[in-house]
Amino acid sequence: MAKATESGTPRARSLPAWLYKREAGVLLALILLVVFFSLATPTFFTSLNMLNVLRQVSVVGIITLAMTILIIGQEFDLSVGSMYAVIGILVATLFNGGMSIWLASLVGLLVAAAMGFLNGMMTVTARIPSFIVTLGMMMVYRGVALVLSGGSPASVRLPQGFYTITGAPRLWGIIPAPAIWFVLAAVAAYYLLHQTGFGYKVFATGGNREAARLAGINTNRIKVIGFILTGIASGLAAIISLSYLGTATPTQGQGFEMQAIAGAVIGGASLMGGVGSIVGGFMGALIMGVVRNGLVLMGVSAYYQELVLGIVVIFAVIIGQYSTQRRQQ
């Protein structure tokens, strides 16, 4: 006999367990969007455009993955776009000053980790909501980027080897290098969140911080590590962008914080913490990219693009909240 639910309605045996997960709905939404835009414009569902979508979402997508972990831990980081600008300018300045691009990139990642650490420490020690802390640091870091650059863009001519690995539009003549970094980051983030004790502690901290603390989890440390990860992700994204574009500007990255949070939320992460997945965050970033790319190919005004993306995020939150309530019943 088919197993009956609490309401007495038999659950169809033919449906696999994964279809009841939140990620299944995100995947279905992604497929429906691809089908819609494929019918709406003949240039959408082509290998060239699909690779372009991957390249376009890769930079923000890497940040989205780290933001997903942070949101599951019940925190936010609104300074990721500003950190992205600081690291891009810093690495370009160090390289133009004579430092090896490899060493300059390492320094950039260390500085990005330090900025994330600072965000986390201020949040947990001062007991100020991360929304307020990172909102202030967003302006601080943007000011740092402007001071470092003097308000001017920094252009670089990177060695071919570094460019091939990090920014080439067609690695091996097929796949954009930034897209490969996005996939690798997703694999690493998935292992960290879903296959390690750290990931378990993140879910526990976000689900019920007091219970996690009583269970012996250092919740402050978990949150600080989450901020460090968003800093490193922002730094890595900045380096990849610098390699691909060949330039960094002090105003770049504006709006990345909202895009990263939106991607995580669309992917099923709960703003209340304790719920979410890297697979969902990955698909959420893809959905943002697919919608934006499809609207551009359809000739939709940039103003309407933001309106549509906002509606998509609101619906994702509503559906996510409904799903959470159904699970709790």
pLDDT tier for residue 324 given thresholds of 50, 70 and 90: low
Determine the Cα–Cα distance for residues 209 and 9; give it in Å rounded to an integer: 36
Of 8-17, 123-132, 173-182, 244-253, which range is least confident?
8-17
Kindly report the number of other CB atoms within 10 A of residue 101's CB atom. Answer: 21
> pLDDT at position 252, please?
93
Task: Check whether 118 has a pLDDT greater than 80.
Answer: yes
Q: What is the DSSP string of 302-320?
A: HHHHHHHHHHHHHHHHHHH
Mean pLDDT of 164-185: 84
**Helix, strand, coil percent values for the chain (each to nearest 5):** 75, 0, 25
> pLDDT at position 300, please?
86
List, for residues 254-295, the tens digit of each pLDDT value: 989 999 999 999 888 888 888 899 999 999 999 999 999 999
Determine the Cα–Cα distance for residues 236 and 241; give it in Å rounded to an integer: 9
Task: Check whether 16 has a pLDDT greater than 60.
Answer: no
**Residue 218 falls in which region: left (phi positive, over 0), alpha (psi -120 to 50) or beta:** beta
Instruction: Indicate the burial class of 157 (C-beta count within 10 angstroms; 0-12, 13-18, 19 or more).
Output: exposed
Mean pLDDT of 291-316: 85
Arithmetic mean of pLDDT over the chain: 87
pLDDT tier for residue 75 given thresholds of 50, 70 and 90: very high
CA angle 177, 195, 63 (to 5 degrees): 40
pLDDT tier for residue 10 given thresholds of 50, 70 and 90: very low
Long-range contacts of 34-42 (CB under 8 A, 24+ apart): 34/290, 36/294, 37/290, 37/293, 37/294, 37/297, 37/298, 40/294, 40/298, 41/294, 41/297, 41/298
Mean pLDDT of 211-239: 95
Of 21-25, 32-36, 116-120, which range is least confident?
21-25
Task: Check whether 25 has a pLDDT greater than 60.
Answer: yes
Ordered by start, the domain boundaries in the chain are: 59-296
Task: Check whether 229 has a pLDDT greater than 90.
Answer: yes
> pLDDT at position 19, please?
47
In 3D space, the residue among 187, 211, 197, 196 whose CA is nearest the CA of residue 281 turns out to be 187
Task: Check whether 17 has a pLDDT greater than 70.
Answer: no
CB distance 320 to 265 below 8 Å: yes
Mean pLDDT of 146-170: 88
List, for residues 42-72, the tens digit of each pLDDT value: 899 888 888 889 888 999 999 999 999 999 9
**Cβ-based neighbours of 198, under 8 Å, separated by 6 or more:** 192, 222, 225
pLDDT tier for residue 11 given thresholds of 50, 70 and 90: very low
In 3D space, the residue among 318, 283, 304 whose CA is nearest the CA of residue 24 turns out to be 283
| Tokens coding 117 | 């650490």
Determine the Cα–Cα distance for residues 165 and 150; give it in Å rounded to an integer: 30
Measured on CA atoms in the order 47, 52, 55, 59, is the torsion positive or negative?
A: negative
